[in-house]
Structure 1
Amino acid sequence: VANMLQAREWFKKSEEGKEVFLTALPLYHSYAMTTCMNQCVYLAGTMILIPNPRELQHVMKEIDQHKPTVFPGAPTMYVAINNYKELDKYNVRSIKACVSGAAGLPLQVQQKFQELTGAKLVEGYGLSEASPVTHANPIYGENRIGTIGLPFSDTLCRIVDVETGKQDMPIGQSGELIIQGPQVMKGYWNRPDETANSLRDGWLFTGDIAEMDADGYFKIVDRKKDMIIVGGFNVYPRDVEEVLFKHPKVLEATAAGIPDPKSGQRVKAYVVLKPGVTATVEELMEYCKENLTNYKRPTVIEFRDSLPKTMIGKVLRRYLVEEDMQKAGK
């Protein structure tokens, strides 16, 4: 309830009884529950249910027919629409507000979707332990691309050192994002040890590495557990992914750390190409060489037909790493 009211304040110009929510997220997940179902009910809106968002033609027909105005989603959904070959057959100009969560929103995806639809697509952030939304770029204010925006109302945030979690980091420096607010959980059911680790002195430790700028906008660098350490240097997968997404032949990409006897870990990229195009590993390696510092460059690139994802479209890096470990017999 608290998070629904916070979301209503964020979307303050929404019109009661007139908004139409495109719900392509599973309603059992807190993201969809808050941004689609609860918000729609509170506004006396209309909700379009999409049972399978992977059936893109069906999604496009629903958009064309029912004229949604609000479309909460994940980056993979916007990627799919951006690259849908028959997009020009459908009217998608009814959409006016979109918030992307579940994973980092690549700049190229954001810009192209806004050009195609005329909608305002902003990146937000949350986690199930916070009901889930804690941050979002303003729909009616400055959308600072590459950030997760500002904290929701009544939400306090700090960036603290990763080692102890007690020292506040200077503006512009990375650390773990911790949160206080009415939307934060009271704890995990029957899991006191995990609760004590996540909730400390009234703060929720998110496990995400973030930065805050001088204006209070936050940027997620990456998950603490996903950080790759190459010869003592920290590499965040999102830095690699952002570069790969800019390549004109790349549809989707993710990066992960794989074991290396010399440097501890090395960067591996998993790439899905756009339909009908071809590329070589050497081509992408050269591209990364031109756009990434040495220790951030992938030493291995694997082309795949698709990337494993959760029901809300979040790429499962750990599945890819586990698959590699099984192939290596480890």
Structure 2
Amino acid sequence: MLGERTWLRHYPAEVAPSFDYPKHNVAQLLIQAVADYPERPAVEFLGVSLTYRELLESAYRFANGLQSLGVKTGDRVALMMPNCPQMVIAYYGTLLVGGIVVMTNPLYMEGELTFQLNDSGAKVIVTLDILFPRVHHVKRSTPLQQFIVGSIQEYLPFPKNLLYPLKAKRDGQSLDIPDVPGVFRFKSWLKSCPAEPVSYPVDAERDIAMLQYTGGTTGMAKGVMLTHYNLVSNTLQTANWFIDAHRGKEIFLAALPCFHVFGLTVLLNYAMHLAGILVLLPRFETKQVLETIQKKRPTVFPGAPTMYIAINHHKEVHKYDLSSIKACVSGSAPLPLEVQERFESITGGRLIEGYGLTEASPVTHANPLKGLRKNGTIGIPFPDTEAMVVHPDTREPLSVGEIGELAVRGPQVMIGYWNRPEETKAVLNEGWLLTGDMAKLDEDGFFTLVDRKKDMINASGFKVYPRDVEEVLFEHPSVKEAVVIGVPDPYRGETVKAFIVRAEGLDVSEEKLEEWCRARLAAFKVPRIYEFRSELPKTIVGKVLRRKLIEEEGLRRQQGEEPNEKPDE
């Protein structure tokens, strides 16, 4: 299977199967953009713009500032911010000085934050005033010594900068930053730091650029060690896949958070590589996204399926001109076919499903932008990326059409988990990464993701993959969102339960959904239990938290609540 690499014949003519990836600091992407387009806007944020020259100068100041705080090569610096200029400056500034970026979710509560800071050993954190009380509270239980605290207000235009504190106060948010040792106000501190160029010469294949925490292929959160070479390689792989993108001409809509590795690669690093304009949104709000597309005319809009679902179902979507969108890649979760087709009809752009995981920087597969595209598949491997389906127990390669665990190998694959050699060994072997995802390969070299290995449902000995059922539910016109889990069943071992969010203004009964599914699925796959909700629990990226639903279901059953289950026939 590997020798044939049948997928190569479906590469567009403009995409070569192999490239030379430069072995330099990730921050060189920004430095090169400044050399070519110094006065082009690099970042736009709620009405304020920074040119490439201004962005690099700020990153240099940040790097020099870190050195004055005692940060050395290999030291970890935590960034806990949504999409905002301070995050971009701190990211490249940390890399310039040879530091290791630790991306931290702004939604983390104290327990999660404490674990990550202790595990990474970060002594410096960059955050916002509205998050500072939570961050400062964990100082005694973590290695944290220094806090660089910014404010959304710092990069807002007049009069938004004057109105922001009033709104924060009305929302009950404190913007107070104590004037105590070890706490620095981002913008004033930045101005006090010299702007002399700083660029640490890295060993790109060995030096870690970032620790990205993830639940990984199994178990508790682990720090994925991504090198400069990993991140640069995946950025260039992405750039070479988007064959219609032109340097110095593209506009990127950053509704995905860049503290997530998907947003970091396909938005932040990719935009810098192409000297594009990065339009930052601190969070995804459907109306704001629609207004931004109409006003800023972005050409590239990576996202998660829930983002495209929200746009498709917005009641006033037809009032907005979304025709600037040329290319979108959907990741983080499976993309239902109905969602893909409707979004393309609304925008006229191309929406392709891709696949990746944190351990691979993250992208390994995508459907081609030109030529053969197989809806419902994750596409074909990126340039210089090998992939195969292996037996989940023996790890022997499987044949075309057989379902097994997806394994990948390429320059974007991590070097391991931070301080976890045994867990690294369990998923990495001779460069091959076991993804924990079940998949199958077809005769054209396209891979179809069946589901997470751990999410497979065993109903009366039959294997049920949630995605099969969810695809059918998504096709129903009254279903906005659907997710399927396995729940304990005394007779079948496990049975299928579906959580449904109805489309706005539409209604559908349990009976109608069952009738719909029975006409399209084998009997053992048809959900026996339905639960209707107004929303589903999601990560900040928009990925449905299937585990959360399983935990809720387990707690409910412990408390003796009986499910409304259909009897077996």
Cα distance in structure 2, aligned partners of 1:50 and 1:243: 33
How much has 1:57 moved relative to structure 2? 1.0
Residue 179 of structure 1 corresponds to which residue in structure 2?
Answer: 408
Secondary structure in 1 matching 2:270: helix
Following the alignment from structure 1 to structure 2, what is the Cα–Cα distance between the partners of residues 70 and 141?
19
Structure 1 position 220 matched with structure 2 position 445:
no
* Partner Cα distance (2:503, 2:495) in 1: 26
Aligned runs of 1:139-150 on 2, under 5 Å? 139-150=369-380
Shift of 1:141: 2.6
Q: Find out whether 1:74 has 2:301 as its counterpart.
A: no
Q: Give the counterpart of 1:25 among 250, 256, 259.
A: 256
Q: Which residue of 2 aligns with 1:328?
A: 557
- Aligned counterparts of 1:82 and 1:202: Cα–Cα separation in 2: 40
The Cα of 1:200 is off from its aligned counterpart by 2.0
CA deviations over 1:168-221 (Å, ceiling 9, x no partner): 111111111101100000100011121111112321000001111111111101
Residue 241 of structure 1 aligns with which residue? Answer: 470
- Alignment counterpart, residue 123 of structure 1, candidates 343, 353, 364: 353
The answer for the alignment partner of 2:541 in structure 1 is 312
Cα distance in structure 2, aligned partners of 1:279 and 1:179: 41
| Structure (1 or 2) with the larger CA radius of gyration | 2
1:137 and 2:367 aligned: yes
For 1:255, the equivalent position in structure 2 comes to 484
In the alignment of these two chains, the number of paired residues is 328
Q: Which amino acid aligns with 2:347?
A: T
1:103 alignment partner AA:
A
1:197 maps to amino acid: A
Matched ranges for 1:144-293 at <5 A: 144-165=374-395, 167-293=396-522
The residue identity in structure 1 corresponding to 2:423 is E
C-alpha deviations, 1:277-298, integer Å up to 9, x for none?
2221111112111111111010
The AA in structure 2 aligned to 1:28 is F
Instruction: Indicate whether 1:43 and 2:274 are aligned.
Output: yes
Q: Which amino acid aligns with 1:164?
A: T
User: Structure 1 counterpart of 2:541, which letter?
Assistant: I
Q: What is the CA-CA distance between 1:324 and the residue it aligns to? A: 1.2
Distance in 1, Cα, partners of 2:336 & 2:423: 32
Residue aligned with 1:307, SS: coil
Q: Does 1:111 align with 2:306?
A: no
Letter of the 1:198 partner, please give it: V
Q: How does 1:53-64 map to 2 (within 5 A)?
A: 53=284, 55-64=285-294
Deviation readout 1:278-325 (Å, 9 max, x if unpaired): 221111112111111111010000000101111111111111111111
Establish whether residue 6 from structure 1 lines up as the match of residue 6 from structure 2: no
Secondary structure (helix, strand or coil) at the match of 2:507 reads coil
SS in 1 for 2:558: coil
CA distance in 2, matches of 1:262, 1:225: 21
Q: State, as a whole percentage, how many aligned pairs show the same letter.
A: 53
SS of 1:177's equivalent in the other structure is strand
Give me the whole-angstrom Cα distance separating, in 2, the residues matched to 1:141 and 1:9: 15
Alpha-carbon distance in structure 1 between the residues aligned to 2:375 and 2:507: 30
Q: How far apart in 2 are the matches of 1:252 and 1:136?
A: 23
Secondary structure, counterpart of 1:291 in structure 2: coil
d(CA) in 1 for partners of 2:485, 2:553? 11
Aligned equivalents of 2:374, 2:469: Cα separation in 1: 20
Distance of 1:321 and 1:286 partners within structure 2:
25
Give the gaps of 5 or more residues in structure 1: none
Cα distance in 1 for residues equivalent to 2:247 and 2:431: 35
Deviations 1:74-117 (A, max 9, x none): 10000111111111211000001000000110010001111111
1:226 deviates by: 0.5
Alignment-mate amino acid for residue 286 of structure 1: E
Report the secondary structure of 2:426's partner residue.
Answer: helix
Aligned Cα root-mean-square deviation (Å): 0.9
Q: Is the 8 A contact 2:413 2:431 kept in 1?
A: no
The amino acid across from 1:235 in the alignment is: V
Residue equivalent to 2:566:
none
Query: Which residue number in structure 1 is paired with residue 191 of structure 2?
Result: none
Report the Cα distance in structure 2 between the residues aligned to 1:255 and 1:95, rounded to whole angstroms. 31
* Residues 234-271 of structure 1: per-residue CA shift (max 9 Å, x gap): 00000000000000100000000000111110000000
Q: Which aligned segments of 4 or more residues in structure 1 are displaced greater than 6 angstroms?
A: none
Equivalence map 1:84-95=2 (5 Å): 84-95=314-325
State the match for 2:78 in structure 1.
none
For 1:12 and 1:192, the matched residues in 2 are separated by: 39
Instruction: Work out the CA distance in 2 between the residues paired with 1:268 and 1:201.
Output: 39
Matched, 1:302 2:531: yes
